[in-house]
Structure 1
Amino acid sequence: MRQRWVRPVFTASMVLLGVGAVTASLAVPVLLLWRTDDRTLDRWSQIGQAVSPVGVFFSGVAFLGIALTLFLQRRDLRNQQVQLDIAIEDQRRSSEISLRQIHTDLVKMAIDDEELLRVWPEISPGTSETRRDHYCNLVLNLQKVAYETRTIELDELRGALRHLMTSRDIHSFWAKAREARAAVTAGDEAEDFFTAEVDAAFAGARPPRPQALAAVLTDAVGRWRRERRSRRG
């Protein structure tokens, strides 16, 4: 009950005080001028002229204070904008890394399960994607994530890609998968950049020697046995 009338009384008091201050500021000079002779007014005028440099000084100080305040506020706003941009970029990178982790998990499932492997589309017309191809894809994507998270620099990325292209399997994988990958990721600046870097490493690599016939047959037999065990399971 008491709080209901405290605020109106306080507001009315402040209004009356303000009106009184304005009235006094107008009435006091009028009364002083009315009851003061010319000699006193002239004396006051001389005093005012004498102290006018002090007023100019304080006006200059006030102006500098306002300018400094505006400068500091502008700098704070700029710092806040930079921090906000950094936070947004970190959040975007975290989201992208999380999505890549999901992709990695799906690829691992396909590597471990022959039935899930057959779900994936052909890497190129007439060529099914093997477990080894999926593994090569993971290896290349690891280099991309490492570069985008600034774990490695550009020179390190290029060195790693050149080294990876000495692998027969990775070299063969990129030859088969490059066109399909570019068709899916075209237009994405980061993906286009990485594709160009892998292309450069691929073009500069010496094509590894083809596998010997015995190794090819051994690999084919091993793959057939794994598929057979998977179907039985």
Structure 2
Amino acid sequence: MDEKLSGQVVVRRVRRVLAWSAAVLVALTSALLFGVGAASLLASTAKDLSWSALADVGDSFGVLNALFSGLALAAVVVTFWMQFTELRSQRGELEVQRHALVQTQAELRRSAEADVRRLHMDLMKMSIADPKLAAVWPKVTDSEIRNRQYQYVNLILQHTWMRHFGEIDEEELRRTFRYLFLSPIIRDYWAATAEARASALVAGSFEHKMNQVGDEIRAECKQTLGM
């Protein structure tokens, strides 16, 4: 929740408290004036200040006392209700803040993972452009040409990861793999790097799901293409 919205919430709460306080004050003042007025009226209409008249005046203050007690009880009830609604409102605000924090953390994590992928792609591009740098990477095969092809396949798969990362559309990912696996070199690369990928996968991650889909589509290709 931003600072402007928090300020608006505080202002609404202050206004609510002031409104209830003003209502209680008006009610108490009205009751007091009513009681004093009633007592004064009884005293002024009495022919003499006999004990009976004074008793009537006292009774009027007794009624006033009962009225004050009722108002005090009502004020307590209103106070508890305001506290309850305030706590409920705070819970709602905390839940909104927690949800926003979770979303922010998830976005930061996705952004960091995407940055790492971009760096990996840059490293692959450098190794493809310079055979001396390519020699630094572990070789998948003894063929220099095939290793350079595999590096390019790695770039293609990283690009696929970048395209589908985040909100995964599994059917679209399957269509992408069916297209990629039309290439025998990509299929060979997928098979040659299966063990290395499996050792780095984290269950439940996007990479894990992507690897599962790739394995399924490659198995389909072996059946349909006979390879």
- What is the TM-score of this pair, normalised by structure 2? 0.66
Percent identity (aligned): 28
2:215 pairs with one of 199, 202, 206: 199
1-structure distance, mates of 2:157, 2:93:
42
1:75 to 2:89 alignment: no
- In structure 1, give the amino acid aligned to 2:161: K
- Please list, as runs of the form range in 1=range in 2, the aligned pairs for 1:41-56 lying within 5 A after superposition: 42-56=59-73
> Could you tell me how far apart the structure 2 residues matched to 1:102 and 1:95 are?
11
Equivalents in 2 of 1:73, 1:205: separation in Å?
56
Query: Which residue number in structure 2 is paired with residue 155 of structure 1?
Result: 171
Find 1:99's aligned residue among 111, 116, 130.
Answer: 116
Match of 2:189 in 1: 173
CA displacement at 1:187 relative to structure 2: 3.5
Paired AA for residue 82 in structure 2: G
**Could you say which residue in structure 2 is the equivalent of 1:58?**
75
Q: Secondary structure at the match of 1:130?
A: helix
Do 1:110 and 1:116's aligned partners in 2 also have CA atoms closer than 8 Å?
A: yes
Query: How far does the alpha carbon of each residue in 1:95-147 deviate from its partner, in whole angstroms, 9 at most, with x for none?
Result: 111111111000001111111111111226x5666121111112112222222
The more displaced of 92-101 and 186-195 is 186-195
| Gapped regions of structure 2 (runs ≥ 5) | 1-50
After TM superposition, list the pairs within 5 Å mapping 1:1-233 onto structure 2: 39=55, 42-123=59-140, 130-150=147-167, 153-183=169-199, 185-187=200-202, 189-190=204-205, 191-206=207-222
Q: Is the Cα–Cα contact under 8 Å of residues 93 and 149 in structure 1 kept in the other structure?
A: yes
Q: CA RMSD in A?
A: 2.6
Q: Count the aligned residue pairs.
A: 171
Do the aligned residues in 1 keep the contact of 2:128 with 2:151 (CA within 8 Å)? yes
Change (3 A) 1:109 1:208: farther
Rounded Cα–Cα distance in structure 2 between residues aligned with 1:161 and 1:48: 84
CA distance in 1, matches of 2:155, 2:198: 16
Displacement of 1:51 after TM fit?
Answer: 4.4
Give secondary structure in 2 for the equivalent of 1:122.
Answer: coil
**Alignment deviations for residues 2-26 of structure 1 (CA, whole Å, 9 cap, x no partner):** xxxxxxxxxxxxxxxxxxxxxxxxx
The one-letter code sitting in structure 2 at the alignment partner of 1:121 is P
Q: Is the 8 A contact 1:165 1:202 kept in 2?
A: yes
Is the 2:177–2:217 Cα contact (8 Å) retained in structure 1?
yes
Quote the Cα distance in structure 1 between the aligned partners of 2:125 and 2:147.
12
Whole-angstrom distance in 1 between the partners of 2:185 and 2:70: 86
Asked if the contact 1:123–1:176 (Cα under 8 Å) also holds between the matched residues in 2, the reply is yes
TM-score by length of 1: 0.64
The alpha carbon displacement at 1:53 in A equals 3.4
